Amino acid sequence: MKIIVSIKQVPDTSGKVAVNPDGTLNRASMQTITNPDDMNALEAALKVKDATGCKVIVVTMGPAPAAGMLREALAMGADEAYLVSAREFGGSDTYATSQILAAAINTIGVEKDDVVMCGRQAIDGDTAQVGPQIAEKLHLPQVTYAADIQKDGDTITVKRMLEDGYMTIKVQTPCLITCIKELNEPRYMSVGGVFEAYSKPLTTFDYNSLKDDPLIDATTIGLKGSPTNIFKSFTPPQKGAGQMLEGADKATCEKLAGILVSKHII
Ligand SMILES: Cc1cc2nc3c(=O)[nH]c(=O)nc-3n(C[C@H](O)[C@H](O)[C@H](O)COP(=O)(O)OP(=O)(O)OC[C@H]3O[C@@H](n4cnc5c(N)ncnc54)[C@H](O)[C@@H]3O)c2cc1C
């Protein structure tokens, strides 16, 4: 059994967010991190590895520096890493991104016992489309929003988080699961793990490595092949400071009601 975890390098938006004059993110000037939900997916995979000894493979599509993020995943305990990187892939929207990642995962190989894991959502693109799209392209059953995962033979029981409760689903391998932060607390890299990370295999898939995969269509990848076009992007105006009313007495409540009525909220 192996678990392939798709992880994305994203700008660290907890610090200062730099925006270009045209409204796009100035990625070059920002620190990068592994997308938070993807850390939960990796931790879930490593827990299965701890229990069963299975192999954990991490894969990312991104520029060359994303190799550093893959080394961190290897230091946490992953066994192998793949960096999918080529000029032809640049500017891909979610449709093209999932096509390229599906081809990479297909090339690595998905067998009967295997599981593909993704985060639910990337904190920069924010669409939550890539995981489900990879599943569609690989013809795998998918379970999204996993808050708990239990493996029993070739059946996996997933507790899905919904807005107002949970749904429990049994799915057979091979399958794809998208993970959320409620699933676990990601581990830290160990010192030994950091040393080991540099002797673990990290393979780069360029365009030539994937171009013969049946899932790759040269006309539907990269900026030109992406069906989504961004016509305009902008930073929304900041909200005002708001108004605070102190106290729970009748006069304050009447004042609050008056404000809400004047704003047509009630
Ligand atoms: C026209 C257009 C041009 C774009 N150009 C660029 C660009 O030049 N550079 C850029 O960074 N973005 C670009 N984007 C954004 C890019 O399409 C998305 O960031 C990307 O497709 C992933 O979508 P998402 O971030 O919404 O991921 P989500 O669907 O929210 O991600 C869900 C999960 O899928 C997996 N995943 C997503 N992306 C990757 C990845 N790259 N590698 C591994 N796993 C992944 C992760 O597990 C993640 O948690 C562009 C978008 C459009 C529409």
The answer to whether residue 259 is domain-embedded is: no
How sure is the predictor about 174, in pLDDT bands with cuts at 50, 70 and 90?
A: very high
Q: Residue with the nearest Cα to atom 1 of ligand 1?
A: 229
Ligand 1 pocket: which residues have CB below 6 Å?
6-8, 35, 37-38, 60-62, 90-94, 97, 101, 118-119, 121-122, 124-131, 223, 226, 228-230
The answer to whether residue 98 is domain-embedded is: yes
Average pLDDT, the chain: 93
d(CA 164, CA 233): 33
How sure is the predictor about 22, in pLDDT bands with cuts at 50, 70 and 90?
A: low
The answer to whether residue 197 is domain-embedded is: yes
At 175-197, the pLDDT tens digits run 999 999 999 999 999 999 999 99
125 Cα: distance to centroid of ligand 1 (angstroms)? 5
d(CA 158, CA 15): 34
The answer to whether residue 266 is domain-embedded is: no
21 Cα: distance to centroid of ligand 1 (angstroms)? 22
d(CA 224, CA 206): 18
122 Cα: distance to centroid of ligand 1 (angstroms)? 7
Residue 177's pLDDT is: 98
158 Cα: distance to centroid of ligand 1 (angstroms)? 25
For residue 209, is pLDDT > 70?
yes
Q: Give the sign of the dihedral formed by CA 8, CA 119, CA 59, CA 69.
A: positive
d(CA 3, CA 128): 20
Q: Report the CATH number that the domain containing residue 131 is assigned in CATH.
A: 3.40.50.620
106 Cα: distance to centroid of ligand 1 (angstroms)? 19
H or E segment to which residue 38 belongs? helix 36-52
The answer to whether residue 249 is domain-embedded is: no
The answer to whether residue 183 is domain-embedded is: yes
Residue whose C-alpha is closest to residue 147's, from 40, 60, 226: 40
For residue 24, is pLDDT > 80?
no
* Whether the model pTM is above 0.95: no
d(CA 218, CA 198): 33
At 36-74, the pLDDT tens digits run 999 999 999 999 999 999 999 999 999 999 999 999 999
The answer to whether residue 165 is domain-embedded is: yes
The answer to whether residue 67 is domain-embedded is: yes
Full residue range of the structural domain in which residue 26 is found: 2-225
139 Cα: distance to centroid of ligand 1 (angstroms)? 20
Residue 26's pLDDT is: 76
98 Cα: distance to centroid of ligand 1 (angstroms)? 8
At 77-119, the pLDDT tens digits run 999 999 999 999 999 999 999 999 999 999 999 999 999 999 9
Q: What is the mean pLDDT of residues 163-172?
A: 96
Total number of domains in the chain: 1
Pocket-testing residue among 26, 94, 230, ligand 1, by greatest number of atoms within 8 A of Cβ: 94
Residue 6 CA, closest ligand 1 atom number: 44
Q: Residue with the nearest Cα to atom 2 of ligand 1?
A: 93
Q: Residue with the nearest Cα to atom 47 of ligand 1?
A: 118
